[in-house]
Structure 1
Amino acid sequence: MSGAGYVAVAVGGCALGWLSAWLVLRPRRADAARQVPAPDSLEREVLRRSSTGYLVLSPQGRPLLSNPRARELGVLVGGIVDRGVLDAAERAAVSGEPVDVELEPVQPPSLTTATTPSTAPTAIRAVVQSIDDERILVAVTDESAAQRVEAVRRDFVANVSHELKTPVAAIGLLAEATLDSADDPESVRHFAGRLHSESTRLGALVTELITLSRLQGADPQADAAVVEVDAVVDEAIRRQAAAAEAAGITVVADEDSMLLVRGDRALLTMALTNLVSNAINYSPAGTQVSVSRTTSEGHVRIAVTDRGVGIAPEYTERVFERFFRVDPARSRSTGGTGLGLAIVKQVAANHGGTATVWSRPGLGSTFTLSVPNYPGADGLGAAAPSSGTPSSVHRGAA
């Protein structure tokens, strides 16, 4: 075959290859084109799924377009536009400037069954602006969460200011008294001891404030790992062994459970340590504090029970609030900051769990830390290695 024949064969082969590839890929491209929504349908789908409510009005206040969120927030109910939005639309059409409107929260029918009082909107804000001579856009947002955060922030700042003033003022007065008693060694020693106590309390308060602040802004999964519950219990009891011995309290724990959870071991240990410390501080000498572990409905529950004075029913819902103290005098005498149980609650929340309390005056209290167990590990994990049990801690039925 001549050189020209070879060239012809090569060109024919390339052409045949390109034709085959085009025939094979054309159906795939057609399928892909069919799978991508048309621009108009895509825009409508985005509008439908938006967490912001959108409503487009005519200059006469007639609704031209709306998404489900606008109806959920009560801006458009039964085809009727909220009166405040209509008034704002008139002003926006005249001025050409955006108009902010604070709307009264409503409970439209679409939220009656799906919304609980804790999630129902409490603050709704609308921004009304003119698009052109024929259309006015209303953007509606639920500001409830932001409002709650701001309220918590204000309360927190007020509480912190109040709590910090007490030890700071005490340190100032004690320092002044120490200076005035420079010629009296006995008084100097007395005031110096008080200064040390107040500075220790102030340091503990600042440390726990920092801890709580970090917990509230922390990523719960940042340091997540498989945690042995028995190791957490042993470490929490060990940390409080000296305090228990000094108070004449016996801490007992049930048998090792071999349960596993997923989370941050250091935070879980800190939370349980706070519960054990709280039980010791509020128990009379010669009594027991019990720590028990159970699993139920996919959660590991670690319960700390004391035989103290108990908590009145009207206070049980508030014990996890920051700086709340059932007995302020006793809390301060034991060095309590009023943040220990708030930290416990935040640690539980960060792990997808809860912190609860059962208490009766004269019978004692049971605080329970509940967190989801490790999937498929209902008591099947390896037992935690023992690092020694303090003399004030006993194994057995709690």
Structure 2
Amino acid sequence: MTAPAYLALSICALLIGGIVGYFVGRARSRAAARGPSGPTVADLIQQIVHDSRNGVAVVNPFGGVVLYNPRAAELGVVHNNRLDDRARKAAESVAESGEPIEIDLTPLETRGRQPEAVRAEIRPLVEGFTVVDAADESESVRLEATRRDFVANVSHELKTPVGAMALLAEAVLDAADDAEHVRRFGGKILREATRLGTLVTELIALSRLTGAEKLPELNAVDVDAVVQEALGRVTFTLESSGVEIATDEPSGLLVDGDRTLLVTALSNLLENAVAYSPPGSPVSISRRMHDGYVEIAVTDRGIGIADDHQQRVFERFYRVDKARSRVTGGTGLGLAIVKHVAANHGGEVKLWSKPGTGSTFTLRIPARRATGERVLARIPAPSTEIETGGAL
């Protein structure tokens, strides 16, 4: 290679190297200016606020909404890009005083599905800006209302038999010389004492079931044995009521659960059916497998339950016919216990009823599984009487 050619080649190499170095340097400068890859701190904060379970709104010194998350609109804090008037006035006060305050922002008007109770804290930011942080406290309000109702109901239910026993005891003392009156009043005291004992027992059972998780230890339970034991528990009630219970053929079905709890639930359904059936009317029990659940249905031809009462019959102390329940000695806790027993077994209790026709309560419990398969001896055909009821 001649000297001029070598010189030209060297010059080209220097030019190419310089151009490459120039562009690499610019690329590094741009990367340095952009900073590290990935979301910025501002991006992360914005995402946190957007996904927050609380309603968050930032308010400027003039009461305008600078930004807010979707939850703030759901809670009614912001509507049509305008801040709730209560929150706006509170924000102005906070901006002046610099002290955070708490206010009630429960929606005043019903717009679809809205929370029943909203509490908000308004805090100062900088230069007259404030932030509204609102939370849905509907569940807490409902729980507190339930607690108050429960305490009031328990107080009333306990006071009634205790008061009756006190009056009857006075009557016995006044009639100490009259054997006939002593026996009569003594029998009434025994009935009230029995009612009081039943109430306390059911309260204890309900307190253990309420809020409990699904039963951790489950045993194989023979459904036919549960039916027979429940029938045995209501023998005395049947003898005094004139009601007869008809059952279908043994099913051989098995469930995973607690036998004692299941017997309690089914006997409560039977007691309820007998209590609300006129003398001589039929009550029936049927068993079947349906969609992986064992269904035990109790059908009566009693007074029936109106639609507006059907969702409430599983509440504690709720009675459709208070006068009849007093006569039969009902506590108003039986169906609530059934509901919680079913839930603790991963099942449910369903109701079909029509006033003047009767009712069908169906206890649904997941069927027994062994090595991934359901265990059942036979699936009986549903009885015609139950199908007519329409509950199954």
TM-score (norm 1): 0.74
Between 1 and 2, higher relative CO (CA 8 Å, sep ≥ 6) is seen in: 1
> 1:212-261 CA distances to partner (integer Å, 9 max, x unpaired)?
23322322344555655444333322322443345444333223444455
Distance 2:266 2:371 in 1: 21
Distance 2:327 2:247 in 1: 27
Distance 1:370 1:342 in 2: 15
Distance 1:205 1:174 in 2: 19
Q: Which deviates more, 330-339 or 352-361?
A: 352-361
Q: Identity over aligned residues, as a percent? A: 52
**Matched ranges for 1:227-376 at <5 A:** 227-311=221-305, 315-373=309-367
Distance 1:375 1:36 in 2: 49
Q: Look up the match of 2:27.
A: none
Q: Look up the match of 1:60.
A: 62
Do the aligned partners of residues 324 and 74 (structure 1) sit closer, same or farther apart at CA in structure 2, a change above 3 Å counting? closer
1:213 and 2:213 equivalent?
A: no
Distance 2:202 2:136 in 1: 33
Do the aligned partners of residues 195 and 53 (structure 1) sit closer, same or farther apart at CA in structure 2, a change above 3 Å counting? same
**Alpha carbon RMSD of aligned pairs, Å?**
3.5
DSSP-derived class of the 1:59 partner: coil
Q: Would the aligned equivalents of 2:368 and 2:375 in 1 still touch at CA under 8 Å?
A: no
Do the aligned partners of residues 291 and 76 (structure 1) sit closer, same or farther apart at CA in structure 2, a change above 3 Å counting? same
Shift in Å, 1:309? 4.1
Q: Look up the match of 1:75.
A: 77
Shift in Å, 1:54? 1.9
Q: Which deviates more, 79-88 or 270-279?
A: 79-88
Moved over 6 A (4+): 34-38, 106-109, 375-379
1:50 and 2:44 equivalent?
A: no
Q: Look up the match of 1:98.
A: 100
Q: Look up the match of 2:139.
A: 145
Which amino acid in 2 is paired with 1:211? A
**Greater C-alpha radius of gyration:** 2
Which amino acid in 2 is paired with 1:61? G
Which amino acid in 1 is paired with 2:334? G
Distance 1:259 1:107 in 2: 52
Q: Would the aligned equivalents of 2:254 and 2:367 in 1 still touch at CA under 8 Å?
A: yes
Q: Would the aligned equivalents of 2:367 and 2:375 in 1 still touch at CA under 8 Å?
A: no
Q: Look up the match of 2:127.
A: 133
Q: Would the aligned equivalents of 2:57 and 2:131 in 1 still touch at CA under 8 Å?
A: yes
DSSP-derived class of the 2:265 partner: helix
Shift in Å, 1:179? 1.5
Q: Look up the match of 2:153.
A: 159
> 1:93-140 CA distances to partner (integer Å, 9 max, x unpaired)?
12222222212427899xx6xxxx4xx312211110113435422111
> 1:32-53 CA distances to partner (integer Å, 9 max, x unpaired)?
xx99977655544443332112
Q: Look up the match of 2:168.
A: 174
Q: Look up the match of 2:20.
A: none
> 1:173-222 CA distances to partner (integer Å, 9 max, x unpaired)?
01111111222233222222211111111111122223223322322344
Do the aligned partners of residues 346 and 190 (structure 1) sit closer, same or farther apart at CA in structure 2, a change above 3 Å counting? same
Q: Would the aligned equivalents of 2:367 and 2:374 in 1 still touch at CA under 8 Å?
A: no
Which amino acid in 1 is paired with 2:360? T
Which amino acid in 1 is paired with 2:82? I
DSSP-derived class of the 2:58 partner: strand
Q: Look up the match of 1:88.
A: 90
Shift in Å, 1:311? 4.1
Q: Would the aligned equivalents of 2:283 and 2:300 in 1 still touch at CA under 8 Å?
A: yes
Distance 1:149 1:127 in 2: 22
Q: Would the aligned equivalents of 2:368 and 2:374 in 1 still touch at CA under 8 Å?
A: no
Q: Would the aligned equivalents of 2:106 and 2:115 in 1 still touch at CA under 8 Å?
A: no
Q: Which consecutive unaligned segments of at least 5 residues does structure 2 have?
A: 1-35, 386-392
DSSP-derived class of the 2:316 partner: coil
TM-score (norm 2): 0.75
Shift in Å, 1:297? 4.5
1:198 and 2:192 equivalent?
A: yes
Distance 2:80 2:321 in 1: 53
Distance 1:295 1:191 in 2: 50
> 1:335-366 CA distances to partner (integer Å, 9 max, x unpaired)?
21122122223333444544333334443322
DSSP-derived class of the 2:374 partner: coil
Q: Would the aligned equivalents of 2:158 and 2:196 in 1 still touch at CA under 8 Å?
A: yes
> 1:131-176 CA distances to partner (integer Å, 9 max, x unpaired)?
3435422111111111222222222222222222211110110111
Distance 1:351 1:37 in 2: 46
Shift in Å, 1:71? 2.6
Q: Look up the match of 1:390.
A: none
Q: Would the aligned equivalents of 2:55 and 2:72 in 1 still touch at CA under 8 Å?
A: yes
Do the aligned partners of residues 140 and 361 (structure 1) sit closer, same or farther apart at CA in structure 2, a change above 3 Å counting? closer
Distance 2:325 2:53 in 1: 45
Q: Which consecutive unaligned segments of at least 5 residues does structure 1 have?
A: 1-33, 385-395
